[in-house]
Structure 1
Amino acid sequence: MSSAPALSPSSSTASRAVLSLTQPLTRRSCNAIRSALAAAYPPSDYAHDPSETHAAVLVPFCNVNGAPGILLEPTGLVDSFPGGKVDETDTSTLAAALRETEEEIGVQPDQVEILGRFGPPERSLKGLRVWPYVAFVHPEGQEASEHLDDDAPLPSLPLSSLTLSPREVAHAFHLPLSAALSPTRLHSYLFRGQRPYYAVSVADVVRGPNAVHSDNTEVQWINDPEQRDEIGGGREGRLEVWGLTGWYLYSLMRILGVYD
């Protein structure tokens, strides 16, 4: 049912990553993410087949309380990233990802700085070809921070500023990048029964409504906090990021040098 990934995190992995897993994201680290994505996945690597039904998701990097991480909202099309099906009003898969992100968590397009995309885009269990885009999310009303020094921390995003859709999203939380190298959070699975990857347990991150914890994690709830039990739907009763979301997170971390 599962197998240890051939590539695994080690004590030396963090030194090879293109960004710090503990220090706030900066202009320099965002540019490093952009360069790594462009090198790993040129836009011509996968043709957009009009005969398929397409969807798109956003992998939203942000600083929260000075810690770098990724926003997750564990409901919807592919479990945890904001996104959804491309509809007739969308001019592109990227437009769909931005529209769905605004609808689901209230992040405006002008807050989103696109850093690139990666792939190949996998099919969801519903048969949709899902295109993953990577971005940095700036706080509302903040400029894109080009005026900051390259090594100055980019402004933190207060999760209380998110407007979660009651129909689509029960809660959102910030997963620190350091979790990607925490052995106690990692579980080995096979994606679609073939490709090894790590699912990331979030049980120690998601601990209560609107809480700011000592490890700089934060959770924003809009519905019954007991719905946290629905997060991830992982094996053996674990609360974890897995499935297509887990595969995309694992794939991205490999591109960024977090995994060997």
Structure 2
Amino acid sequence: VSSFLGVDLSGLLGGTGGGQVAAQDEAVLASCSTGADANANAECRIVGAENSLTAYWTDVEGGAFQPPSVVIFDQATPTACGTGTTDMGPFYCPSDRTIYLDLTFFGELRSKFGTNGGPLAEMYVVAHEYGHHIQNVSGIMDGLDLRDTGAASDSVRLELQADCLAGSWVAAAANTKDAGGTAFLRVPTRDELRQALEAAAAVGDDHIQQTLGGGSVNPETWTHGSSAERVAWFAVGYDEGWRSCQTFGITPQQLANPRA
């Protein structure tokens, strides 16, 4: 599997300050200290993904960059955006600059949405939410109408850009190193990339409507983009880097097919 190397994860545990991972049950994270722990344990994998993402985005944004906090919760948790629940899936709260994850979502990717899952697919989910933090601190979220829906709405553009930013990290992760000079991830295999793309496709609005909504697809209600769009923008980030993640200021046709 695409795996963490011998990085030290212990510095990211506990607390709720920026760049740290916390859990309602802190004992869950007590064993997370090495790359091997991240390979074997989903909770530790979140710590490792946050570590790698923070190193990557600090390189991009500069030394003043403040990473998000990450909270692993079970069923429900208070946030500055209201009560977060399992039904919401993973989410980012701009008001407290925190990513919230209930790890049962990774099982639902397989059981509800028909993906194969896998470590890289799980880390794509974290990277997508981290992308929302980048959008928040860089001012991209300012002035957007996130209550609007539709295939070319601000909400869809924001989500597709987060997919693209996630793809840029996946491509760079094998070359992103910790303070000791150790790379965070091995280069993903083609199969692992397929699993990550499956995860992106599984949470497309059209796939969710077909799978859970009785089969009827209505683009006017979309908030995240279609499966094909999410895969396409992930691929743009993976192939071309974060600078190409320009989902705003383009036509609906370009948004739907960025490689046309």
TM norm structure 1: 0.28
Identify, as 1 or 2, the structure richer in helix.
Answer: 2
Larger relative contact order (Cα-Cα within 8 Å, sequence gap ≥ 6): 1
Identify, as 1 or 2, the structure richer in strand.
Answer: 1
TM norm structure 2: 0.28
